[in-house]
Every structure is written in C-alpha cells, then in structure tokens.
C-alpha cells in the first residue's frame, strides 16, 4: 500500500507478508487497520526527512559562516586565505581535491591564469603527497580547458562522468597520476561582478557525482571566497602602492636634477677626441678621468657612434640627461657613477674595436650605451639577496627576482620622463616602444641570475657555429652577454687597475657583510666577510674561472678582435694565482678546463693553454683548502644563484 505525505504525494510503499501466527490470508479488516496506520507513517517519514534536510542546511550555513569568519581573520596574505578556502571546500563538499585558479588580467579577453593553488583531502590516497601547492598552470593539474571555459563564459560546469565529456583531456589525466571521475567548476567573482578566477572540486569521497545541491552550495561558498580573495588582492595592491611611494619619496629626498648652470657650462665645454681620452682602448684606466671629464667623455662616445644625429637628440637635452644620471648615483664604494661610466666605456671600446656597429642597429647601439650608463642607478651598495633578507621596500615593490635591476630600469625611465630629459623625444611611437624594450632588456641582463640562464644558449650558438645575426633571439642573447661582459669588464683591465677595482668591490661587500652581522645577526658569505679577507685571491680565481673567463672566450670565438680582453683576464688570473699560491712555481692551470675557449679543439675539449691533469688536480686541491665547498658557489648562493648553475661545462658537450 502507498505511503503519502501531507500533499498526497507518494513517498513510499508498505508491504506485509505472511500473516502470523496461523498463516491465514489477510482480511479486509487487516487492510483497514493498515490503511489507518499509513498516514502516521507518512507524517513520520516526512518529518524525519525535514529534520535531516534542516540539519544539513544548518551544517552548511554554519560552514558558510565559518568561511566568512576566516575571511575576516585573514585578509593580508593571498596564499593563506586561499588555503583556508580550499580546506573548507574539501570539508563542506566531501571531495578529494580542490583547485583555485586566479586570472592574470581580469580585464583581458584572453584567459590566462597567473596563480594556481591546489589542496588534496587527507582522506584521498595518492602516490604524490601534496597538502598545499602553488603550481604553474602547466603543472600536473587537471587540464585547463574546463577552467578556461568557465572563466570565459562565467557559467558553472558540472561533469558527472569526465570520460564521456569531449572537453576533458584523457591524456592529461593519465599523465597526472590522479584519476578524475567528476568535476564541478564555478567562476569566482569580485565585488564589481568581474571574474577573477575559478574554483574547482574533483571526485566526491563517496564516489557519487556532484548533484544540484552540491552545485548550489559551492556557488554560494564561492561568493564569499571571491569577496575574500578580492579584498586580499586589494590589500596587497595598497601595500605595494605604499612601498612604491616609500621608494619614490626616498629617491626624491636623495636625488635632484642638475642645475641650469651645469647644463650651460657643459654645452659650452670643448669635447676632447676619443683618442685624447683613451676611451677607445681596452686597457683604459678606469681612474684616469674625474667626474666632469667622464661626462664629456660620455658625450664624445654618443657623438662618435652617430646616434645623436641618427635619432635627432637635442644636445642640451643630452647634456642635462647625462648630468642628472650622474647625480642619481649614490656615493657608495663601487656601484657609483664611475662604475657606470667605465661599463659604458668598455661597451664603446668593444663596439669601436670589434666593429659591432656594422652588425648591430643604431637603436641597439643607443640602447646598449644608455643601458650601461643607467644599469646601476640609485644602487644602495647592497645586493638583491640583502634586499630579500631585510624585506626592504624595494623587495616588496619589485619582488625578489632581479630586484635592483628592475629598480635601476624604472629609475632610468623616471629620469627620461622628467621634463627636459627625454633623449628619445624625437623617436616615433613605434621606435620609442622598441627602444624602451631594448633598454629594459639591457639593464635587466646585468642580473647574474639571468646571465647564467642565457649563457648556455650563447655558448651553444658560438661553439656550434649556429649563431646568426638575422635571428632576433640570437641578437638578444648576444646583447645580454655584451652587457655582462662590460659590467664585469674591470677583470680584463691592466693588473693595477683591476686589483684596485677588486678592492673597491670588496670594500662595498664588506660593508654589506657588517650590516648582515649587526642588523640581521647572520654570518655573511666569505666574499662579504671582512674576517676572511685573506681569502680574496682564491675567491677572485674562482670568480674569474666560474663567471668571467668563459664569457670572454666565447665572445672571442665570435669576434677575434676581442683578444685583448681575453689576454687581460688571463694576465690578471696569473696575478691572483701568484697571490693565492705564492710558493707554487708550477704552470697555471684553469680550474674550469671545459670552458668554451675559442682556441680549443671543440671535439677534444682541450685547449692549447690547458695544464696537465696533474697540475689541474694540484690546483683544485689547493683551492679546496679554503672550505669544504667552493667559495665561488657560496658567492653565487649569496647572489641568489643556484649552486649548480656555477658548474662550467662546455655548451658543445651533452
């Protein structure tokens, strides 16, 4: 017989079997009794269902309130708030896995995710153990086509069986090692009803599919999540704006543009020839010119390269720009105006001597020269690692990747945008955009981390003979190598000059090390530790072998007119070798015998100046006495470069 609810709807049936005790058939009286009993059954079952649903709604409402509480408790750290959101989602919806993907640009029509977060339920067993991961969108995540569809349409997607859905990539599923059965993906909106990302859950723990109730709950849940994420992102934006303002105020308090008197005096000054200044020579004396002479020498370099005429640079603007650039260098021991000029002189000498002006465009030449002069603007005498350790405003503003280099570029842009300082003013819109891109590449390439990333490619191009001037990627890598070669150019100067520069660098490093010890209570790396100054020659040897020499050898293979630079670094290496091993009379051996020496037979991997295996072993043994690990590796780590990146293997070998 049917069991009905108060609305007369059938909600069940009751069946009686085998009447006891005699087994006689059911009578009409039995039917009447059961008929009278059934309404009470219907009421009881309906009430039980209502109670169960009310309890579920209560639990879900409480969970949503807990989400709101979490959002109010944490609105400063995006990763923390996303973690809390995903933890609540896993508990509330009883699923195996939750993902949150945030869009890179909410105003763009192109869907591209900037940040991806994942959380696995502790009840889900999988070979790969993750509790919380921040992943790139190309990682082993579920295939992004579904997430991209939701982000572009703003409509939720609920797939009960992914194997039957053409939008799902089965190959990506197999590659991830995580079997996906069902997917529920919904958009995340901000307070202005813009999509800022998507939230996604996979596989209910009870192996059922996500139903309409799950979808409604998840959509309600994500509304609060969107508000929390949006508030956190706004907080971070405000914090970043504050950092930017702090940096700007700091710069403004320290720097100022040059005076009209200075500009007029420079305009009227006679500019000596490059031969009189000696700026077209590789053995240029870095300390031969005073501050004003370096300005006039800079003017001469711009004039002789022909970029003033080519780009119609107003002479007064150029004078004002140079004077202001000089004024925007701080009076630190090494990374000052003199270093900037010496780097640009090295670039000028390379261009003039090696005839790079015949293969590089005028725009590239101008960008390289401007990049050299601006590449360390507003340097504070401390490196990127120090900015990260101290949590400085610069690190907060630019992040921990190439912090200073981004600051140098932005400072260069600020000067160019100041009234009367835009030396690119007469460029067309397209030319200006290209010039700024070239300038940014030039300045950022002075970050040694980027140098290590790119030099492998450059060595491969050179050793294999595949380098092509017609391929933009090859030209860009070469420009980066030229910037690094000039930035490190002091190592190729005559010995007295090179040694004096090394002492200035060390002096600046020691000041940073003192601050690390006093302010951060840290033991500085060897090259920053004045208590280990006696190890400087050994550190210089490893610096030359691990960082500098391979680059100049590769450039020499590309252009034989750069031989003086290789001769200079070899001569200086010999001097540092003598200081490191004063009693050793054996032949000097290179620690990095596999560096891409242009004089080497590429197939054999041995160069004409390679020492015997016995000599090389002896030298390496002596170098190791300065520590159980390579001090050069310690220096690299202090600069934020992976230790493995310091290993020099010939790019031509696999």
Which of the residues are catalytic? 335
Are the C-beta atoms of 445 and 414 separated by less than 8 Å? Answer: no
* Cα angle, residue 368 at apex, residues 363 and 373 outer, rounded to 5°: 130
* Tokens 């192996």 sit on residue: 207
Distance of CA 435 to the CA centre of its chain: 23
* 472 burial level (CB within 10 Å; 0-12, 13-18, 19+): exposed
Token pair in block for residue 556: 């020499």
Q: Quick check: 203 and 161 in contact, CB under 8 A?
A: no
Structure tokens at 639: 């600069």
Query: Could you tell me which residues are beta bridge partners of residue 10?
Result: 4
Residues 6 or more apart in contact with residue 255 via CB below 8 angstroms:
327, 328, 378
Binding-site annotation: residue ranges for Zn(2+)? 339, 375-376, 487
Residues 6+ apart with CB under 8 A from 346: 282, 284, 372, 485, 486, 489
Which residues does the annotation place in the binding site for AMP?
335-339, 376, 487, 540
Cα separation, 369 vs 442, in Å, equals 9
Structure tokens at 448: 């040694």
Q: Residues forming the annotated binding site?
A: 335-339, 375-376, 487, 540
Beta strands 113-120 and 95-103, pairing class: antiparallel
Residues in the chain: 654
Contacts of residue 524, defined as CB under 8 A and 6 or more positions apart, other chains included, come to: 512, 513, 516, 517, 638
Q: What is the DSSP letter of 470?
A: T
Would you state the structure tokens that stand for residue 349, as one six-digit string? 């000498």
Cα–Cα distance for residue pair 366/313, rounded to 1 Å: 11
Distance, first Cα to last Cα, the chain: 81
Q: Torsions phi, psi of 463, nearest 5?
A: -65, -35
- Rounded CA gap, 394 and 388, in Å? 9
Sequence-ordered list of residues with C-beta below 8 angstroms from that of 489, at least 6 positions apart, any chain: 342, 343, 346, 565
Q: Are 288 and 276 in contact (CB under 8 A)?
A: no
CA distance 538 to 122: 52
User: Residue 68 and residue 74: Cα distance in Å, rounded?
Assistant: 10
> Assign residue 355 a region: left if phi > 0, alpha if psi is -120 to 50, beta otherwise?
left
Residue found under tokens 């050299």:
372
CA distance 572 to 554: 18
């Amino acid at each position: 017989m049917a069991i009905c609810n108060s609305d007369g709807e059938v909600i069940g049936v009751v069946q009686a079997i085998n009447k006891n005790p005699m087994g006689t058939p059911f009578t009409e009286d039995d039917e009447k009794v059961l008929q009278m009993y059934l309404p009470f059954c219907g009421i009881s079952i309906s009430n039980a269902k209502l109670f169960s649903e009310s309890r579920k709604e209560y639990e879900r409402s409480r969970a949503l309130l807990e989400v709101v509480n979490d959002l109010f408790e944490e609105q400063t750290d995006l990763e923390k708030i996303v973690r809390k959101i995903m933890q609540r989602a896993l508990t509330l919806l009883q699923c195996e896995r939750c993902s949150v993907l945030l869009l890179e640009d909410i105003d763009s029509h192109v869907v591209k995710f900037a940040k991806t977060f994942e959380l696995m339920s502790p009840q889900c067993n999988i070979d790969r153990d993750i509790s919380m991961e921040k992943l790139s969108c190309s990682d082993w995540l579920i295939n992004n086509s579904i997430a991209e569809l939701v982000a572009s349409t703003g409509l939720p997607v609920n797939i009960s069986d992914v194997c039957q859905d053409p939008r799902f990539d089965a190959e990506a599923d197999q590659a991830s090692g995580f079997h996906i059965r069902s997917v529920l993906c919904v958009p995340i909106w901000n307070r202005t009803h813009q999509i800022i990302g998507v939230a996604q859950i996979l596989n209910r723990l009870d192996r059922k599919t996500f139903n309409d109730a799950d979808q409604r709950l998840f959509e309600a849940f994500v509304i609060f999540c969107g508000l929390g994420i949006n508030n956190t992102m706004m907080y971070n934006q405000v914090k970043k704006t504050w950092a930017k303002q702090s940096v700007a105020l700091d710069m403004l308090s320290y720097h100022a543009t040059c005076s009209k008197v200075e500009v007029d005096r420079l305009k009227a000054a006679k500019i000596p020839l490059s031969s009189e200044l000696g700026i077209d020579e590789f053995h240029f004396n870095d300390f031969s010119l005073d501050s004003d002479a370096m300005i006039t020498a800079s003017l001469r370099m711009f004039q002789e390269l022909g970029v003033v005429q080519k780009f119609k640079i107003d002479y007064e603007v150029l004078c004002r720009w140079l004077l202001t650039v000089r004024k925007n260098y701080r009076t630190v021991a090494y990374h000052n105006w003199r270093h900037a000029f010496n780097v640009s002189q090295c670039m000028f000498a390379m261009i003039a001597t090696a005839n790079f002006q015949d293969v590089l465009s005028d725009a590239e030449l101008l960008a390289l020269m401007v990049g050299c002069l601006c590449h360390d603007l507003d340097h504070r005498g401390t490196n990127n690692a120090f900015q990260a350790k101290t949590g400085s405003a610069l690190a907060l503003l630019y992040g921990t990747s190439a912090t200073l280099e981004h600051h140098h570029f932005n400072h260069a842009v600020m000067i160019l945008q100041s009234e009367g300082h835009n030396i690119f003013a007469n460029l067309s819109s397209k030319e200006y955009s290209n010039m700024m891109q070239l300038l940014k590449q030039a300045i950022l390439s002075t970050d040694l981390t980027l140098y290590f990333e790119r030099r492998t490619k450059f060595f491969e191009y050179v050793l294999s003979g595949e380098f092509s001037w017609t391929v933009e990627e090859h030209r860009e890598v070469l420009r980066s190598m030229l910037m690094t070669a000039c930035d490190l150019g002091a190592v190729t100067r005559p010995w007295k000059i090179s040694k004096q520069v090394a002492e200035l660098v060390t002096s600046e490093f020691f000041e940073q090390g003192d601050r690390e010890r006093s302010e951060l209570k840290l033991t500085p790396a060897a090259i920053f530790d004045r208590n280990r100054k006696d190890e400087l020659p050994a550190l210089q040897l490893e610096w030359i072998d691990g960082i500098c020499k391979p680059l100049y050898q590769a450039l020499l293979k590309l252009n034989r007119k750069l031989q003086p630079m290789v001769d200079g670094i070899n001569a200086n290496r010999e001097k540092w070798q003598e200081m490191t091993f004063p009693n050793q009379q054996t032949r000097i051996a290179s620690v990095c015998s596999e560096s891409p020496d242009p004089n080497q037979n590429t197939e054999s991997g041995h160069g004409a100046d390679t020492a015997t295996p016995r000599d090389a072993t002896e030298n390496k043994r002596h170098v190791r006495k300065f520590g159980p690990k390579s001090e050069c590796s310690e220096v690299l780590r202090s600069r934020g470069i992976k230790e493995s990146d310091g290993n020099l293997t010939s790019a031509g070998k696999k």
